[in-house]
Amino acid sequence: MQPTATNHRLSHGGEAVRGRTPYWRGALVMVALIGIAGGAWFGIDRALVDRSPIVVGILHSQTGPMAVSEKSMVEAEILALEQINKAGGLLGRQVSWVIADGASDWPTFAVQAEKLIREDKVCAVIGCWTSASRKSVLPIFEANDHLLIYPMAYEGLEQSPNIIYTGAAPNQQITPAVQWCHEKLAARRFFLIGSDYIWPHCVNAIISDQLAGLGAERVGEMYIPFGSTNVDSAVRAIIAAKPDVVLSAVVGDSAIAFAKKLRDAGVRPDKTPVLTFALGENELRGITRQDMVGNYAAWNYFQSVDRPENLAFVKQFKARFGSDRTISAVMEASYNSVRLWAQAVTETGSTDVRQVRFALRHQSLNAPEGIIAIDPETQHTWVPAAIGRIRADGQFDIVWTSGISVRPVPFPLTRTREAWEAFVEELHQRWGGKWAAPTGLTTEAATQGTVSP
């Protein structure tokens, strides 16, 4: 019987061993199944969730007479995009960008805009400086139902569902400056000068309406061919007219030449101050500052704004691009444009152009200059208005500010919207369907039409 008992125990032990073997096999099978499921889910996740970079277009002049102003806008936009990526990107994706050169040429801007949309497949474009470049690309964005964010103070007189305007409208730059000159400088005789394209002509029409309302006199109005540095005739006309103030919408390389020639001719701010709508801290780096010291500029931002948010922004920009760099209003607006766009993408959870465009209409931001917000009715931006006096170090003493952001009014109330649109179209037709005058220097007499000297 003993062997039988022994055999029983052995048999029982064998059964126990045989019982444990399927358990381990099952565990291994379970692990394998989990691995397969995990791999399958990873594959599904890769298939359903887009991890490719979000692509943004940057469209500014890298060459030509506007490069002096627009290159710095690109840097500000890159800074904002790099900061977004450093913080983890958007929607779990990194952001990349394609930089296109408008080359200070309106047709080139149009070609590059088309390429960014159709070939580079960007989900938004931030770009342009001149109104001529914006006017040239506008039909392309409308035809493709796409999105342009325009970070430049401009003449207004436009409203498109495909453009978000993040710079100042005329009531946030032009009309406050004229009012300030009339009150604080006691100016009664105004000389208007600009580059010969759509923006300065519209600006000066707005100013002329305002001067008529103030009972002030427009003693001269002249235009310098776009990009030209031949400004002698304009300087002579200003000296002859003896204005109380010169309001300048001269841009790019022309503005730098104009400032130098005025100072060389003895036109000084203690007798005949110049207030510019186109020169900021960045442009002042490229000229002998004594040519402009004591004159004024109207913008919605100056680097000297004393806010913690601005001090941080200036520090970040200098750390990235050099301690000797300065920041202008258009650069700050470019930086803000990227941040506002990123907020809209985050809110919608999508890069779909229509969704982001709609979400942008109610974005706000604690920007370096103060609280700004997109106006949903006009797609322009609430921004503060300010006037600064140029210092010897190329910075500005802020002599006046609105204090808070001002509601944008793209169509000044001195004329109906229809009348302003007709005015713009008349210029367009007069120039042969272009957005800049095709001829040389033109003069607008105070009581006459355009004549060529």
Q: Which tens digit of pLDDT belongs to each residue from 319-368?
A: 999 999 999 999 999 999 999 999 999 999 999 999 999 999 999 999 99
172 or 445, higher pLDDT: 172
* Domain presence at residue 48: no
Q: Is the separation of the CB atoms in 300 and 173 below 8 Å? A: yes
| Domain region containing 434 | 171-306+387-451
Same domain, 183 and 249: yes
| pLDDT at 104 > cutoff 90 | yes
Same domain, 102 and 60: yes
Same domain, 220 and 362: no
First vs last C-alpha separation in the chain: 135
pLDDT at site 285: 80
Range ranked top by mean pLDDT from 7-11, 17-21, 275-279? 275-279
443 or 302, higher pLDDT: 302
Global pTM reads 0.85
Same domain, 400 and 286: yes
Same domain, 293 and 246: yes
Average confidence (pLDDT) over 97-117: 97
Same domain, 413 and 357: no
pLDDT at site 453: 28
* Domain presence at residue 61: yes
Average confidence (pLDDT) over 125-144: 97
Query: Which of these three, 324, 353, 383, is where a domain ends?
Result: 383
Same domain, 265 and 185: yes
Assign 227 to helix, strand or coil: coil
| pLDDT at 13 > cutoff 60 | no
* Domain presence at residue 49: no
Confidence at 3, pLDDT banded by 50, 70, 90: very low
Same domain, 274 and 318: no
* Domain presence at residue 374: yes
Query: Which of these three, 349, 383, 417, is where a domain ends?
Result: 383
Same domain, 202 and 351: no
Cα separation values, 237 from 21, 201, 267, Å: 104, 18, 12
Q: What's the rounded Cα separation, in Å, for the pair 215 and 205?
A: 15
| pLDDT at 389 > cutoff 90 | yes
Here the tokens at position 262 are 């005025």
187 or 42, higher pLDDT: 187
Q: Which tens digit of pLDDT belongs to each residue from 67-99?
A: 988 999 999 999 999 999 999 999 999 999 999
Q: What's the rounded Cα separation, in Å, for the pair 373 and 362?
A: 7
CATH code for the domain of 376: 3.40.50.2300
Q: What's the rounded Cα separation, in Å, for the pair 441 and 453?
A: 7
Same domain, 164 and 89: yes
Confidence at 256, pLDDT banded by 50, 70, 90: confident
Same domain, 300 and 421: yes
Q: Which tens digit of pLDDT belongs to each residue from 41-57?
A: 545 544 456 689 999 99
* Domain presence at residue 408: yes
pLDDT at site 36: 60
The residue assigned the tokens 């010969």 is 196
Lowest mean pLDDT among 3-7, 153-157, 216-220, 369-373: 3-7
Same domain, 294 and 324: no
pLDDT at site 49: 60
pLDDT at site 283: 83
Q: Which one-letter DSSP state was computed for residue 225?
A: P
Q: What's the rounded Cα separation, in Å, for the pair 163 and 74?
A: 18
* Domain presence at residue 45: no
Pairing of strands 442-444, 450-451: antiparallel
Q: Which tens digit of pLDDT belongs to each residue from 218-239?
A: 999 999 998 899 999 999 999 9
Q: Which helix (H) or strand (E) holds 427?
A: helix 417-430
Name the region of 310 (left: φ>0; alpha: ψ -120 to 50; beta: rest).
Answer: alpha
* Domain presence at residue 431: yes
| pLDDT at 102 > cutoff 90 | yes
pLDDT > 90: percent of the chain: 79
The residue assigned the tokens 């930086």 is 335
pLDDT at site 18: 43
* Domain presence at residue 43: no
Mean of pLDDT over the chain? 89
Residue 111 identity: V
Query: Which of these three, 363, 383, 403, is where a domain ends?
Result: 383
State how many domains the chain has.
3
| pLDDT at 398 > cutoff 70 | yes
